[in-house]
Amino acid sequence: MIDCNDIGAVIFDFDGTLYDYRRISLKLIMKHPLDMFKMRAERDIRRNFKGIDFSNSETFYKYFCEKMKSRTGMNSKRTLDWYNKRYMPSMIEVLAQNYRHREKVLDLFKYLKNNSIKIAVLSDYPLVKERMKAIGFTDEMISLCDIISSAQDTGALKPCARPFLEIAEKLNVKPEDVLVVGDRNDTDGQGAKKAGMRFLKVKSHKSFGTDWKDIVEGL
């Protein structure tokens, strides 16, 4: 399934790829039902920001707060307090209580490292390492990753090419030698295409593609 001869690095998407995030929105709402409209606004804004390069996180948050104010009436301070002190911690709690990483992730990571292939994890949302730990990633598994990155922290959500290209540059790997593994064509796939990278799509609860077990068994 993975020809290691011409791959220098693999960039893994997080949500839907390293675990299947079925019904996570519902579980977040059930945890804080009074936040339902804030959560819906956050998701809608992120959807509209998809593929827009804001250059940096400060500009991203500026426009994010403006959009949230128009939807919820909250000012920037209240928006950021809600997002950083309530919403993201709640997401980590929901992950820890309900989700686990896909089987044999450790085996796959070890296989890649043994073949001198660098590993990166790229998620749109922040606190990637904390969310990895929430779904059962051990310190050993995390240590095998050369880069753990948030596209949001760069100010450019997928499918912007820049987060992918910055990872390749930091890893000192040519874009054409990078394989992106994700569960969505519109974000992971298009981001890889724009960056000149290859793409392998895996199945999640709402997508078709290669089964995760097929990848591991095909090594």
Query: pLDDT for 168-212, tens place per residue?
Result: 999 999 999 999 999 999 999 999 999 999 999 998 776 777 887
* pTM score, whole prediction: 0.93
Both tokens assigned to 98: 């309900």
CB contact at 8 A, 12 and 188: no
> What is the band of 1 on the pLDDT scale with cuts at 50, 70, 90?
low
> What is the band of 6 on the pLDDT scale with cuts at 50, 70, 90?
confident
Both tokens assigned to 69: 């104010």
Query: pLDDT for 95-126, tens place per residue?
Result: 999 999 999 999 999 999 999 999 999 999 99
> What is the band of 157 on the pLDDT scale with cuts at 50, 70, 90?
very high
> What is the band of 5 on the pLDDT scale with cuts at 50, 70, 90?
confident
Residue 113: per-residue pLDDT: 94
Q: Whose CA is closest to 52, among 135, 161, 206, 125?
A: 161
Residue 207: per-residue pLDDT: 73
The span from the CA of 31 to the CA of 92, in Å, is: 12
**b/e map of 107-143 (b: 16 or more CB within 10 Å)?**
ebbeebeeeebbbbbbbbbbbbbebbbbbebeeebee
Per-residue CA distances from 100 to 20, 62, 148, 172 (Å): 8, 33, 18, 31
Query: pLDDT for 20-72, tens place per residue?
Result: 988 999 999 999 999 999 999 999 999 999 999 999 999 999 999 999 999 99
